[in-house]
Amino acid sequence: MNNIEAVHKRLIVSCQALPHEPLHSSFIMGRMAVAAKEGGAAGIRANTKEDIKEIRRNVELPVIGIVKRDYPDSNVFITPTMREVKELVEVGTEIIATDATCRFRPGGKSLDDFYQEVRLAYPDQLLMADCATLEEALHADELGFDFIGTTLVGYTEESRDLKIENNDFELIKEILKQVKHKVIAEGNINTPEKVRRVMDLGVYSVVVGSAITRPQLITRTFVEALEA
């Protein structure tokens, strides 16, 4: 396993492509990770054990691992159950990230019960909480997550009116003031200037995804500028 301290004050690049996206391929994500490393990335965030195994074959960088999987009885889809956690442990993922919102998980399980189950099974595994609100970040911090992330701000019913960049990243400032654990900024941080700003605020690291690794979305920003 790679030293997670390598990502301190540096950039983590999210290399993900879902099945409906044009770059969906473990091979392509492995090459994407190489490109990210060549550009100076210190870590990778990746989805599925297959992609992580391929990324490991290509680069020696610490990985934040997730498994996105839909279940019919829950809106939680980022590492929602122990099944996904076990898959990520099998490939030696340095940090396992999971939805840490207030929503119930598959089977009606609460975040508290899920967290205790993971800690009991894998007491040494580093865990990251993907949160959407200040209250969720504070709760995840209280539970004992090693890293508090802003990944889901604006993506849940509870946070739909929130934007991570509002009022000069006020939400990140509040989280930093009130939590004990390390904060990783993630979600809609899509310019070098925003990366620099949140790092200056005092976060542990910054994750950037779509603005680097989803060419269809990058292209759309240019097209929309012309259409405007």
Distance of CA 57 to the CA centre of its chain: 21
> What phi and psi values does residue 66 have, to the nearest 5 degrees?
-140, 165
- The Cα–Cα gap between 186 and 181 comes to 16
Render pLDDT for 49-77 as a digit per residue (tens, 0 to 9): 999 999 999 999 999 999 999 999 999 99
Render pLDDT for 203-213 as a digit per residue (tens, 0 to 9): 999 999 999 99
pLDDT of residue 1: 66
- The Cα–Cα gap between 172 and 152 comes to 13
- The Cα–Cα gap between 177 and 183 comes to 10
Three-class SS of residue 48?
coil
pLDDT of residue 2: 78
Q: Are 133 and 174 in contact (CB under 8 A)?
A: no
Mean pLDDT in residue range 37-45:
98
pTM of the model: 0.97
Structure tokens at 172: 């990140």
CATH for 4-227 is 3.20.20.70
Q: Are 164 and 154 in contact (CB under 8 A)?
A: yes
- Report in angstroms the alpha-carbon separations of 51 from 7, 22, 119, 197, 210: 20, 15, 24, 30, 17
Residue 228's pLDDT band (boundaries 50, 70, 90)? confident
Domain ranges across the chain: 4-227
Instruction: Give me the chain's average pLDDT, please.
Output: 97
Counted residue by residue, the chain has a size of 228
> Dihedral angle at the C-alpha atoms of 183, 187, 193, 195, nearest 10 degrees?
30
Mean pLDDT in residue range 133-162:
96
pLDDT of residue 200: 98
Is the pLDDT at 160 greater than 80? The verdict is yes
Structure tokens at 59: 């680069």
Strand partners, 205: 184
CB within 8 Å of 174: residues ≥ 6 apart: 134
Q: Are 203 and 184 in contact (CB under 8 A)?
A: yes
Render pLDDT for 162-214 as a digit per residue (tens, 0 to 9): 999 999 999 999 999 999 999 999 999 999 999 999 999 999 999 999 999 99
Backbone Cα Rg of the chain: 17
Helix (H) or strand (E) segment spanning residue 66: strand 63-66
Helix (H) or strand (E) segment spanning residue 99: strand 95-99
